[in-house]
Amino acid sequence: MANPGKNPAVRLEGPDGDGIATVWIDCPDSKVNTLSVDLLPEFEALFSKIGADSRIKAVVIASGKDAGFIAGANIDDLGLVRTVAEGAKLSKNAQDSFRKLEKLGIPTVAAIHGDCLGGGLELALACTARVATDHRKTKLALPEVMLGLLPGGGGTVRLPKLIGLANALDMMLTGKNIRASKALKLGLIDAAVPAGKLLESARKLAVDLAHGKPAHAKKKPNVQEEVQTFLLEGNQLGRRVVLHEARKKVLKQTKGLYPAPLKILDVIGKGTYEAEAQGFGELLLTAESHGLQHLFHAITALKKDNGPGTEGVTAPKVTRVGILGAGLMGAGVGTVLADQGYTVRLKDRDHEAVGRGLDYARKVFGKARKRKVYGDAGYDERMARISGGTDYSGFGRCEMVIEAVFEDLGLKQRMVDDIEKVTQVGGIFASNTSSLPIADIAAKAKHPERVIGMHFFSPVEKMPLVEIIVTPKTAPEVTAATVAVARKMGKHVIVVNDCPGFYTTRALVPYMTEAIFLAVEGFALESIDEAATTHGFPVGPITLMDEVGIDVGLKVMKVMKEHYHDRMQFPPDISQALIDEGRLGRKNNKGFFKYENGKSVLEKGEKVVDETVYKHLPNGAATQAGNLPEMAERMILGLCNEAALCLQDGTLRDAYAGDLGAVMGIGFPPFEGGPFRYMDRIGVKTVVEKLKALEAKHGKRFKPCQLLLDKAAKGERFF
Ligand code: NAI
């Protein structure tokens, strides 16, 4: 019996005079449609009914939700699976339902608007044809790989047949969204139509198919494409070559740390529903998938958090934003704001700096135009929204000012004072400091309730996180408005309480300082990076120092030293000597690694250490190769201990924010789900034991915090 006691999620309408019936999908009590275990029996019952009704000549499947078609499988169902067999069964159930749809014996057309993801797309793939709206909200994707899974509803079998092996691999291995125009080119859909014409077009196609006409012809490949497709995909040997090359690429990109893309390749190689179900079941129980699912839950939970005291608060609308400092960060923030429709005014000390800021925007928008994200009109519109100058003209009407001048408390306080004088009453002052306490920046403000921290990460247009920092004085309206702006910029948001370094910088410092301790002990610089990347960090700490700027890092380190010297330990300060030598990192082509014109110098595909940097280290050269897991553990456990301390002292308002912030902001391995999930996985008791052993060997910086000690004693977990 399907869905007992609940409103049905699927409804049959018709058939009409032409024999076309419509299946409406409209999951009750939810904004979006998801494919839950409950929904499949409803589908099957409906398909049986359709099969038994000889009046029905063709079927259109459409969504009753404005939000989209189907957003994917219901992730809550996944959490209930305990064995591989149970996981495989989940996949097999979906396959069986979709096969029933495929074998109805009459044409079926999916009418797609909005999200058509995962199981939603697999359902559409089982239809005879697909029509999608050309609206920008329409996205088709198989994103299972991002949850450490594979498409388990027949997608690995049907997609390669429909769009070819190489295109199918690209979709399944990246999980990326495909818009309607691209989907049409790939042959993933049969027509792209304006939103107002979706049902009419799908119905018309259903009528045509019922009369034996073929679905809209896919673009015919040219001879070269045809030969290439035959050579690579049309025969067993060619397919093996494609899969082998894909495996090599995956191994290089993931260092073998992610089982899902490799399993996808195995399963596609076998090409059967049985292999798909078995692979799905196996992946579902991997630690990596659990970590990625955890991250998904963190994202969902934090979307509802607008910061302390914001419940019921209406966020004042922000449309115009002033930016102080058009350097790396100011320019990046201004660019993303202008992209999202805000009117932006940059201010810097001289016209050259302002010009460089505007050039940054030109470069980012120019790249998007080249990738055809928008055309000339889109580019011009965006550039028209961003302007700059050396005075405060244009700032008076800004509802918000974001400050990104040098990391200097006195300067930042002066900025607050200036802005209070020039902006309208009620304006927000958001500081993009990376370490200074927001309360100190607001110390001399007439309106400290309007001062807040808005910590972006570099490069702003790529990094997905904004850490918002509130002081006890920050007004909830200010918090709500700042969170709204960050979300409109397309960022994940965590809201944390104020302290020097807040959450992300505090968690990052032990990781970075440990890297320097290792360097001082004589470990080769590239092996320190390798220790981190083989554990899943996207870049190693030494590379990160070059990216952020050794000078910027030193300023942050000074603030952290001033506040935390009693419990943190800092390695001998080599940064000043590096800076004195003009070694600032990638930005001036001189860092720990070698650069030319801002690009890394590579040998055999690997970055090359600038050996002359060793003269600043006590041994004058690399003297140890090192045990990578041990080195990684020192860096990671220091980070975890500090994260736990942030939760203990209330900087973090919950552990989910700690996990999301570490993964999205500082590159903690996503498949671990974040430091708190990682500590749960290996056991808090084990973490404490390891920290104590490191404390005995290296000193107080590894002293486990009280929260960890308490949790270990009680046998508790974070989640
Ligand atoms: P930057 O040196 O590239 O830019 C700072 C800009 O501020 C310069 O163009 C400078 O001319 C300008 N400036 C100085 N005094 C000014 C004044 N009185 N009025 C207007 N403009 C003035 O530095 P970056 O990297 O952009 O950093 C800015 C802030 O962002 C710092 O507080 C830094 O700690 C923080 N931050 C930096 C990150 C990074 O990865 N570089 C990440 C997150 C935060």
Closest CA to 89 of 77, 103, 75: 77
Same-domain status, 493 and 510:
no
Cis peptide bond upstream of 472, omega within 30: no
CATH number at residue 523: 1.10.1040.50
Query: What range defines the domain where residue 527 resides?
Result: 505-650+653-714
Same-domain status, 511 and 536:
yes
**DSSP states of 265-299:** HHHHHHT-HHHHHHHHHHHHTSHHHHHHHHHHHHH
Give 83's contacts (C-beta < 8 A, 6+ positions apart): 281, 285
- Pick from 473, 500, 527: which residue ends a domain? 500
- 308 in a domain, yes or no? no
208-259 pLDDT, tens digit each: 999 988 776 555 667 776 776 766 676 778 888 899 999 999 999 999 999 9
How far is it, in rounded angstroms, from Cα 243 to Cα 645? 46
Using DSSP, state whether 218 is helix, strand or coil: coil
How confident is the model at residue 625, as a pLDDT?
80
Global pTM reads 0.92
Is ligand 1 within 6 A of the CB of residue 324?
yes
Same-domain status, 194 and 180:
yes
How confident is the model at residue 2, as a pLDDT?
42
How confident is the model at residue 308, as a pLDDT?
97
How confident is the model at residue 484, as a pLDDT?
98
- 307 in a domain, yes or no? no
Active site residues: 467
Closest CA to 123 of 143, 86, 96, 146: 96
Is ligand 1 within 6 A of the CB of residue 348?
yes
- 551 in a domain, yes or no? yes
- Pick from 467, 500, 533: which residue ends a domain? 500
Same-domain status, 521 and 462:
no
How confident is the model at residue 3, as a pLDDT?
45
Cis peptide bond upstream of 143, omega within 30: no
- 575 in a domain, yes or no? yes
Same-domain status, 433 and 567:
no
- 334 in a domain, yes or no? yes
Same-domain status, 372 and 268:
no
Give pLDDT < 50 ranges for the chain.
1-4
Q: What is the identity of the amino acid at 513?
A: T
Same-domain status, 393 and 257:
no
- 429 in a domain, yes or no? yes
CATH number at residue 278: 3.90.226.10
Closest CA to 185 of 197, 200, 207, 170: 170
What is the atom index within ligand 1 of the atom nearest the CA of 332? 26
**Euclidean distance between the first and the last CA atom of the chain, given in angstroms as a whole number:** 34
Same-domain status, 332 and 260:
no
Distance 331 CA to ligand 1 centre (A): 9
Ligand 1 pocket test, candidate residues 335, 346, 392, 406, most atoms within 8 A of CB: 406
Distances (CA, A) of 14 to 24, 59, 197, 338: 11, 9, 19, 48
- Pick from 470, 500, 530: which residue ends a domain? 500
Is ligand 1 within 6 A of the CB of residue 353?
yes
Is ligand 1 within 6 A of the CB of residue 456?
yes
- 374 in a domain, yes or no? yes
- 301 in a domain, yes or no? no
How far is it, in rounded angstroms, from Cα 281 to Cα 425? 58
Question: Are 107 and 206 contacting, i.e. CB atoms less than 8 angstroms apart?
Answer: yes
Same-domain status, 574 and 443:
no
How confident is the model at residue 497, as a pLDDT?
98
Is ligand 1 within 6 A of the CB of residue 584?
no
Q: What's the half-sphere exposure (Cβ side, CA atoms, 13 Å) at 270?
A: 14
Same-domain status, 575 and 493:
no
CA 492 centroid distance within chain: 8
Strands 602-603 and 595-596: unpaired
How far is it, in rounded angstroms, from Cα 668 to Cα 647? 17
- Number of domains the chain contains: 3
Distance 3 CA to ligand 1 centre (A): 57
Distance 541 CA to ligand 1 centre (A): 22
What is the helix, strand, coil percentage profile of the chain, to 5? 50, 15, 35
Is ligand 1 within 6 A of the CB of residue 550?
no
What is the atom index within ligand 1 of the atom nearest the CA of 555? 34
Same-domain status, 349 and 242:
no
Same-domain status, 451 and 529:
no
